[in-house]
Structure 1
Amino acid sequence: MTETMLSFEQAIAQTEELLDQHGHGEISTARLAERIAELITTSNGARGFFVGWLTGDSALADTVPSEVLSALRTAPDQVAELLTKNLAMSTAMAYTHRANGDSASAAGSEQVSRRTQALITRINLPALVEQLTLLKASLDHSDGHYSAFLRRWGYGAAQLKAIREILVTLRGVPN
């Protein structure tokens, strides 16, 4: 099946399979990176990749090989937008789960947030700095590029504050 025909769910499954194959030594890091570069050429592929990568059990997602970073740089606009949204969503949900006393769900959201931050810190994409700056501006002014996204998810003041606090820790995002 070509990546253009992949559903979101199929892209998640492919990512999980690739990580499993890599974990068992069945494919090299270079081959994994090639497949990731192919996956992220479409919206469903990119979205599915990040779900599988950020939420999965693979320790590779915590170390992020340079080959994977290079693969992600091949789709800078999609990657920048998805990392920005994943950072906001996982940070907001970690806050919500903690506030609701759901430590297991909080841990999952915190893992996604931590892994997203690690990618953001290491990937060095100008488009990503731009997207994070747009998110910060939307938070600061309740208007802007990401305001519809933030409203759609119905984030409250405390969640928005948590997102803002995470953003100011990232290099390159204006305070």
Structure 2
Amino acid sequence: MPDSLPIIPENPDFGTAIALAQQLLASELTDAVAQAIAQLVASRDGARGFFVTYLTSEEPWADQPSPALIAALRSQPTYVEDLMVRNLAMSTAMVLTHERNADPAMAAQSQRVSRRSSEHLRQLESPSLRQLLQDLQQSLTGAGAFTDFLDRWGYDAEQRAAIAGAIAPLLD
């Protein structure tokens, strides 16, 4: 790995992961950077820090993820798949929250994260990811693997319907 790339610790804390993600996103996407991203998303806090930085960034990578980036993310499905499903749900629900609060700028940012999450999920497609999306879909209308998550965030019927609408194309 080139000297300019940060060393990725095995289990970075959330704050460290954000800082590492910022450094990686400031680099050109090379095989070495993709490998470093794969190392970063290999832990839960590493993946959380990466996605919070990446999905909200101004970097064009997030709008049109490269095959190298998708391969790096696909190499670590344990945390990547679960967090991407949750990111889609949360950002989709937050669009409505921001619209209700008359904050169009934040609504647009949440819509961008939702769109990016959906595109990544489409490209990451796998049987385990499909199962997570089906679990989320089931949890929206009854008991399921994501019921506690949805309840913890207090999503109402309109937000749950929006989430269902966001995941439907991914299950077609």
Q: Same fold (TM over 0.5)?
A: yes
1:139 aligns with 2:140: yes
Q: Residue 9 of structure 2: which of 3, 25, 45 is its match?
A: 3
Query: Where has structure 1 moved over 4 Å in runs of 4 or more?
Result: none
Q: Which runs of 5+ in 1 are unaligned?
A: 23-27
Helix, strand or coil at the partner of 1:63: coil
- 1:110 maps to 111
The total of aligned residue pairs comes to: 166
Aligned residues: CA RMSD: 1.3
- 2:95 maps to 94
Cα deviation 1:25-81 (Å, max 9, x = unaligned): xxx421221111110111111111111110111011111000011111111121110
- Give the conservation status (yes or no) of the 8 Å contact 1:3–1:41: no
- Give the conservation status (yes or no) of the 8 Å contact 2:133–2:167: yes
CA distance in 2, matches of 1:113, 1:2: 27
- 2:168 maps to 168
Q: Which runs of 5+ in 2 are unaligned?
A: 1-6
CA distance in 2, matches of 1:167, 1:21: 32
TM-score of the two chains, using structure 1 as the length reference: 0.90
**1:140/1:5 CA distance change after superposition, 3 Å:** closer
- Give the conservation status (yes or no) of the 8 Å contact 2:139–2:146: yes
Helix, strand or coil at the partner of 1:169: helix
- Give the conservation status (yes or no) of the 8 Å contact 1:94–1:110: yes
Percent identity among equivalent residues?
A: 40
Correspondence list, 1:11-50, <5 A: 11-22=17-28, 28-50=29-51
Shift of 1:140: 2.2
Cα deviation 1:127-152 (Å, max 9, x = unaligned): 111100000000122x1100000000
